[in-house]
Amino acid sequence: MDAAYDYYHLFPSPTDTDVDSSFTSSSTSARTSLARSSLTLSFNESRPSTAHPSRPHRNSHPNWSAINAATTLSSDGRLHLSHLKLLRHLGTGNLGRVFLCRLRHYDYATFALKVVDRDALSPKKLSQVQMEADILSALDHPFLPTLYAHLNVSHYSCFLIDYCPGGDLHSLLRRQPSHRLPLESVRFFAAEILVALEYLHALGVVYRDLKPENVLLREDGHVMLSDFDLCFKSDVTPRLLRRSKPARKIHRYSRCFGSGSPRQVLVTEFVAEPTTAHSKSCVGTHEYLAPELVSGAGHGSGVDWWAFGVFIYELLYGTTPFKGVSKEATLRNIVGNGPVKFPDDVVCEEAKDLMSRLLVRSPERRLGAAKGAVEIKRHPFFEGIKWPLIRNYRPPSEVRGMMTTNKKKVGMMSPRRRWGWWKGLLSYLMKSKGSRRNYSNSNYHSLSRQ
């Protein structure tokens, strides 16, 4: 009965969509009518396969220890759906359903399981699923999800990834006065998203779907960027560049031996921006689309830096800079010639300058166009941030107070007596035993914890 219960909730009826949220968020309000859905007008990129490298930044996580123990005890050394205990349905996204689950006999190992019915998707959406699988399998970063296992059962693809109990940033904004965050909180979130985008660009991945709805909050209050189905990949050539900059401190005896002018130091910077990336697809969320993306003339990685400017603007002001009375009006404002308008509220000049330089309509003149995140990190808005230590920064108070509340929400869902459907599915799986659609696991974790 227990196994059947899990199978029913793993593969529910397509018409049973009582919760409308997405990916790994625990908040059911994140994908309501207040949120903005992503659009796809065309999609023509190829889908190269991606290797599954080791993950040194995550291999000490307790979830890996639990998976190692479970697979060691497994008869074939692999992880199966029978190892997972479903707790509740988290939401329904563009490509599939997401469930909160735990590894059986390891109560501390909590995950989100994204289930995609391949038979229900068009070829275009299947290519998006493959793109997301390729990217997830390559990620190893504190602000990006970890793919613990990729399971294929019949015509279902299941992705076992991190669960974020804090919901998403869009929901957090909706709970704030005037839907806006204090300046220091904006700096915290913007800095972490900047580092995540820098990492993606270093892999040759152009994200194209940045918005608060896709920024999830981990248990510790730090961010996790989600949803990679609208990405495209390009070649990237990493470079080491040297530049001089004034030393932070002048030695107290320097004036005794020279003119006293500021001492220059030579610094080496790692730059890996996919400057040759090019696509003509129009995808994303309309309020966050860059002008070159709306025009359809082709775009590259600069669309992420435009969206980053819109993202900071929304966190500071509670709305996006080009929002009109309709989607069409918003798109006209984006491609128009008028400057970015800022509310009369007093916000630091450094923040306004950063947004103005990111929201430049010409992608060649946009901040980040040449050297990516390296240029943006130098901006005075981020002055004082110690980038190598950012993952150890203390989250804002708005997030810390929310973490304790959300821990109480992790519980099991009530069984629903709809046995006819799962019986039909189990019967189908048994009949298809030995066929190409029988159980077959692609276990990413086997190469990820060495």
Whether 424 is covered by a domain: the verdict is no
Q: Which domain holds residue 295?
A: 167-246+265-392
Whether 33 is covered by a domain: the verdict is no
Rg of the chain in Å (alpha carbons): 23
Average pLDDT, the chain: 80
Domain boundary among 118, 146, 162: 162
Tell me the C-alpha distance between 104 and 84, whole Å: 6
Residue 28, pLDDT score: 39
Regarding whether 238 and 146 lie in a shared domain, the answer is no
Regarding whether 214 and 329 lie in a shared domain, the answer is yes
Residue 261, pLDDT score: 60
pLDDT in tens, 254-305: 444 455 566 788 888 889 999 999 998 888 899 999 999 999 989 999 999 9
Domain boundary among 139, 162, 185: 162
Regarding whether 136 and 234 lie in a shared domain, the answer is no
DSSP 354: H
pLDDT in tens, 66-100: 888 888 888 888 888 899 999 999 988 888 899 99
Q: Backbone phi, then psi, for 158, in 5-degree steps? A: -125, 125
The total of structural domains in the chain comes to 2
Regarding whether 199 and 77 lie in a shared domain, the answer is no
User: Could you give the 3-state DSSP secondary structure of residue 18?
Assistant: coil
pLDDT score of 321 more than 60: yes
Closest CA to 67 of 441, 442, 444: 444
Residue 439, pLDDT score: 35
Residue 3, pLDDT score: 45
Regarding whether 183 and 154 lie in a shared domain, the answer is no
- 251 or 161: whose pLDDT is higher? 161
Whether 434 is covered by a domain: the verdict is no
Residue 248, pLDDT score: 65
Whether 71 is covered by a domain: the verdict is yes
Regarding whether 178 and 72 lie in a shared domain, the answer is no
Tell me the C-alpha distance between 65 and 427, whole Å: 34
pLDDT score of 368 more than 90: yes
Whether 176 is covered by a domain: the verdict is yes
pLDDT score of 144 more than 60: yes
* Token code pair at residue 426: 């189990």
Whether 328 is covered by a domain: the verdict is yes
Residue 39, pLDDT score: 58
Tell me the C-alpha distance between 141 and 222, whole Å: 12
Whether 446 is covered by a domain: the verdict is no
Whether 18 is covered by a domain: the verdict is no
Tell me the C-alpha distance between 172 and 180, whole Å: 9
Answering whether pTM is above 0.85, one says: no
Regarding whether 242 and 299 lie in a shared domain, the answer is yes
Residue 344, pLDDT score: 83
Binned at pLDDT 50, 70 and 90, residue 4 comes out as very low
Residue 444, pLDDT score: 36
Tell me the C-alpha distance between 159 and 244, whole Å: 46
Binned at pLDDT 50, 70 and 90, residue 55 comes out as low
The region of weakest confidence among 198-207, 296-305, 392-401, 437-446 is 437-446
Count CB neighbours of 82 within 10 A: 13
Regarding whether 187 and 139 lie in a shared domain, the answer is no
Regarding whether 134 and 109 lie in a shared domain, the answer is yes
Respond yes or no: is residue 209 known to be catalytic: yes
Binned at pLDDT 50, 70 and 90, residue 8 comes out as low
Residue linked to tokens 């997830």: 136
* Catalytic annotation, pick one of 6, 134, 209, 304: 209
